[in-house]
Structure 1
Amino acid sequence: MEPKWVTWAKEIQSLSQAGLAYSKDQFDIERFERLRELSQEIMAQYTEVPMEKLPELFANETGYQTPKVDVRAVVFRDNKILLVREMMDGRWSLPGGWADIGVSPSENAAKEAFEESGLEVKPVRLIAVMDKKCHPHPPGAYHIYKLFFLCEEIGGKLTTGFETLDAGFFGLDELPELSVGRITESQIRILFEYGWDAEKQVYFD
């Protein structure tokens, strides 16, 4: 679903990063450096990110490039889903974020749920693995895999965290304005379908 220019820019960036990591020939290194610059120029041309910011956001890694991992906690209560209001844009998403080094994916889901909503949860089942490019998110610089863990409440109380303004449970017919860079309505509908039916296998793209 993502625009082709995003796909091309990310692939050029990935190839250039691998080339810079493994090439020994100085002429090849110069070519890969130019390819990396071109990928940043493409992103700058079609997004609102200033060119000077792109090296740290889009081309800030070394070695073989792999997708980033975004982990989300899916918590239901009375047929409603837990959402948190993001401080960054004032819109709503599932609690979660980038996977942390040294923490398993399920541990990450529980940690993010507590930090962003105040609820203590126990991950019980992986219900979805989504590739961000396959869903109607706005164009982004990273290739992202999104892991969704069904979690059950075991304690705590709804509150806010350092990165959230509010937290609450919402039904499908009363969803607030979503932070669509993080979650979309169509994805939430998939989570309702797969989260409530234990007989379903894991959803994946």
Structure 2
Amino acid sequence: MSDNPWLDWTVELQSLAQAGLFYGRDDFDLERYERIRTIAAEMMAALSDLPIATVRGLFCNETGYQTPKLDTRAAIFDGDRILLVRERDGRWSLPGGWCDVNLSIGENTVKEAKEEAGLDVRAERLIALHDGGRRNHPRSAYGVTKAFVECTALGGAFTPNSETTDARYFALDELPELSAGKNTEEQIRLCLEAHRSPTWIPPFD
């Protein structure tokens, strides 16, 4: 559970409604499930200050049994400094994004590092699997599992792109404003702790 139970209940209502719409057969039940999903979208809009059209796009475009989305984050180091990329809103994050359906966690991490940081990397080992709803804020409108992966930079250079405007290495005592929905200071500290440990055992939620 997150620190806002109303968000948790709203996400659960949406999930139940989506499953009901997929597995239900009775027309009257389907109508009720659709109404429950609409109410859940309206609740999420009210709780998050997101426009209702945005929430409907997140809540109402999927079918089938709802499962968490997978987000990968690349932890790339230069000594004890970690690479962050600057998002379009000015905040910073580890390079990463949603895992494509045809890519593994490692492959997606490599792809995102290239797209957002301009670096060719090798995915070395898993650092952690986190439940985004418990660890990151604001709470997403859907479940998110976050995979943090330690990577070795092989070459390349940053160029501005459609997602990021800069890439730099930072020490822990000089971290810029972070995009907390993507990574927190606690998660970055965890990445550095793993980097320093040759016998790291990945924690998971």
- Where on the TM-score scale, by shorter chain, does this alignment land: which range? over 0.9
Structure 1 residues 119 and 52 mapped into 2: Cα distance closer, same or farther (>3 Å)? closer
Q: List per-residue Cα deviations over 1:115-164 (Å, max 9, x = no partner).
A: 11111100010111000122141122121000011000111123333210
Q: Which moved more, 1:15-24 or 1:37-46?
A: 37-46
Give 1:34-53 correspondences, 5 Å limit: 34-53=35-54
* Deviation readout 1:148-186 (Å, 9 max, x if unpaired): 110001111233332101000001000011111211111
Matched, 1:17 2:18: yes
Distance of 1:203 and 1:160 partners within structure 2? 34
Matches within 5 A, 1:108-119: 108-119=108-119
Matches within 5 A, 1:1-205: 1-87=2-88, 89-205=89-205
Which ranges in structure 2 are unaligned for 5 or more consecutive residues? none
SS at match of 1:159: coil
Aligned residues: 204
Shift of 1:15: 0.4
Q: Which moved more, 1:47-56 or 1:72-81?
A: 47-56
Measure the CA separation in 2 of the matches of 1:136 and 1:69: 14
| TM-score, normalised via structure 2 length | 0.95
Q: Give 3-state SS (helix, strand or coil) of 1:128's partner.
A: strand
Structure 1 segments unaligned to the other structure (5+ residues): none
Greater displacement, 53-62 / 104-113:
53-62
Superposed CA RMSD: 1.2
Looking at structure 2, the residues matched to 196 and 34 of structure 1 have their Cα atoms a distance apart, in angstroms, of 51
Aligned letter for 2:90? G
Shift >3 Å, 4+ stretches: none
SS in 1 for 2:126: strand
SS at match of 2:180: coil
Cα distance in 2, alignment partners of residues 10 and 196 from structure 1: 37
Whichever residue aligns with residue 125 of structure 2, its letter is R
- Indicate the larger mover: 77-86 or 39-48: 39-48
* Whole-angstrom distance in 1 between the partners of 2:154 and 2:54: 42
Aligned-partner Cα distance in 2 for 1:177–1:107 = 28
